[in-house]
Amino acid sequence: MSSTTLPAARTLRHAFAWLRFLRSVWQRWFLWVLLAVLVLALLVTVVWLAGRHEVEQVQTALDRDTADAVSDLRSGLQRNAQSLRASQAGGLDREHWPVEAAALLREHREWLRLEWRDAALRPLAAVDTPYRRRVFDESTRSVDQPDVTLACAAARKLGAPAYSPSHYVPSVPSGGLEVMELCLPVDGGAGYLVATYSLRDTLIELVAPTLTRGQEVAFTEADGTRLVAVGAARRMGTRVFTSQQLIDLSGTTVMLRVDGWRAAPDLFPNLLTALVTAISIALVSVLVLLARDTRRRLRAERDLADALAFRKAMEDSVITGLRARDLQGRITYVNPAFCEMVGFSAEELLNHAGEAPYWPTELAHEYRRRQAARLTGGPPPREGFESVFMRKDGSRFPVLIFEAPLINAHGAQTGWMSASIDLSEQRRIEELSRASQERLQASARLATVGEMASLLSHELTQPLAAIASYASGSLNLLHGAGQVQQGGEYGEVAMAVRRIAEQADRAGQVIRSVHDFVRRRDRTREAVAPQALLDAVLPLVRLQARKLAVRVEVSFEERLPRVLCDRTLVEQVLLNLARNGMQAMDLPELSDRVLRLRASRARAVGEASDAGDKPDTRRWIEFSVADFGCGISEEVAARLFTPFFTTRPDGMGLGLSLCRTVVEQHGGALMFEPQAPRGTIFRFTLPAA
């Protein structure tokens, strides 16, 4: 090998070694470099996005401020036009108008001048603002002023206020003003009212001061030419943010421009170190918080399990029935008290589709209507509502239901929770209390009646006995003298004396019936024939019937069984109903007055009419009292059995209430219905012996 090839080979070996070194370095650091590049790109992206987000926030706030300023300007201009229109409400007078115009100028500093012009736009009167040196020369405010002409032509065409385009008015001391004319037609064709706006004063007066503190607000032309500007000047080292909106006025348009000065975001110098440190701290903090959150979650789960067990024990111990339903009406939860109340198991009630098994068939439509109203979002009554449930054996019982919406953790309603209280025992106690109260009321009022009846019966017994004795003695004398057999007038006298004796005996029976009814004695029930009950009250009924010209008709079904009752109380019920019927027919316009008393067989209380020939475990006898009076109105029917309610001036209001109490104590029912063509039928049932 020559001397020239050795350095070349050495150089080549060094080159290959350098390449191998670069390859190993590249393979070792490539992923790290790639990770560093990605992290750097991520950081640059985060910085750029943060700056852009800040710029967007600043621009959004500036756009919102600009929209508020435009709204304020439009509202202010509209109020000014309304004030100018209100100044002509009482008519315009050339003598008083300058005073009114001066008052308006003091209220509106953005106005430079108010003018009153005739229909030909000739000036009639003008007043300048007191807050500024006079700007206008009277010689320049002529008929052919183009800005006023354009504004008034637009106002006359629209029949509403119109504005002129902005124009420059030179002023020697200050260099001039940008102004705008507002022309308003006067009612009745009396000309126009022209108000001259200073655009700069308009921005000062009608735009909120907070908008002009840190930014510049200006009026510009549509091409961007700035007319006037107010607000803060731009500071060095700030960035300009601009927002502009068009204000469309009648007759012209003006552009509102708002320039905001904000410092540009400067986050890059310390971002890398801060970001890495923040990410490291955040990672450790997340791990610590995750461990703490896991411990809190486990503790919360244990507390939740204890709370659920406590709630389950509490729900199982209460006697109030609890029921939860979803928004479709399906039952999702019932407690043992509810299951015991209705007689169904939880498996039979949960997820039950359609009508619930404890709904009575006759009230299903009411439950569906209530559920439909609940699904529409109507709030349940806070005081609850009463309803009727049906047990598994078919028996009904009243309940009081309180409902509240079920709200989940996200604030959404998932169903309804109901609390049901069985009112059966409460109703029984109320019924006993009502019956006791009625008995006390009746006893208090009948005590005096009983005393009076006893006194009358005692006092009348002796005269009636004397009458009967004298009548018997007279008959004996006539028979002893033998004058009765001879006929003639003595026979008629004997007939009259016998009639006197019969009526005295009947009066004695009436008095004894009253005495037996009001005197104290033990209440015992006995088997009595229905005909005997009616026969016992017929003397008293017919006595009043003759007085009121009422015909009494009595009818019976054949072979009626005896009834098991307290004879005196039932006789009083029949007597009260008969007297009420006769008094209902005590009207001058009624010529045919008939009172019908009837006893017949009846079905079991509460049995449907289509029961067919189903055998009753208990037989019933029905008594009816029908009259042909004026009938009972709906208002009276609603309170007919209320104690102390009466339609007669001399009535006590206890008769029908006591009658119903007596009948219900015997297990029967007292009811009434209208009779065709007129009148009312009262019916009550008593159990057969």
CATH of domain 424-521: 1.10.287.130
Q: Could you give the 3-state DSSP secondary structure of residue 250? A: coil
* Residue 117: both structure tokens together: 């012009």
Among residues 386, 338, 339, 390, the alpha carbon closest in space to that of 361 is found at 390
Q: Where are the domains of the chain?
A: 75-262, 318-422, 424-521, 522-689
Task: Give the pLDDT of residue 606.
Answer: 43
- Please write the tens of the pLDDT for every residue from 648-686: 665 666 677 778 888 888 888 888 888 888 888 999 999
378 DSSP assignment = P
My answer on whether omega of the bond before 677 falls inside 30° of 0, hence cis, is yes
Q: Is 572 left (phi over 0), alpha (psi -120 to 50) or beta?
A: alpha
Examine domains 75-262 and 424-521 and report if their fold is the same. no
Indicate the CATH number of 318-422 among 3.40.50.150, 3.10.20.440, 3.40.718.10, 3.30.450.20. Answer: 3.30.450.20
d(CA 550, CA 616): 38
d(CA 344, CA 394): 12
* Residue 521: both structure tokens together: 């004695």
What parts of the chain have a pLDDT lower than 50? 1, 265-270, 272, 486, 520, 606-617
Task: Give the pLDDT of residue 270.
Answer: 44
CATH superfamily, region 75-262: PAS domain (3.30.450.20)
Q: Say if CB 622 and CB 607 are below 8 A apart.
A: no
d(CA 647, CA 632): 10
Task: Give the pLDDT of residue 353.
Answer: 61
Q: Say if CB 498 and CB 478 are below 8 A apart.
A: no
Among residues 202, 155, 220, 145, the alpha carbon closest in space to that of 182 is found at 155
Q: Say if CB 406 and CB 399 are below 8 A apart.
A: no
Q: Say if CB 322 and CB 419 are below 8 A apart.
A: yes
Alpha helices, DSSP H, located in 257-345: 271-317, 336-342
Indicate the CATH number of 522-689 among 3.40.50.720, 3.30.565.10, 1.10.3720.10, 2.130.10.10. Answer: 3.30.565.10
Alpha helices, DSSP H, located in 519-666: 530-548, 567-584, 634-638, 655-665
Task: Give the pLDDT of residue 376.
Answer: 66
* Residue 445 C-beta-side C-alpha neighbours within 13 Å: 13
Residue 155 φ then ψ, to 5° = -65, -40
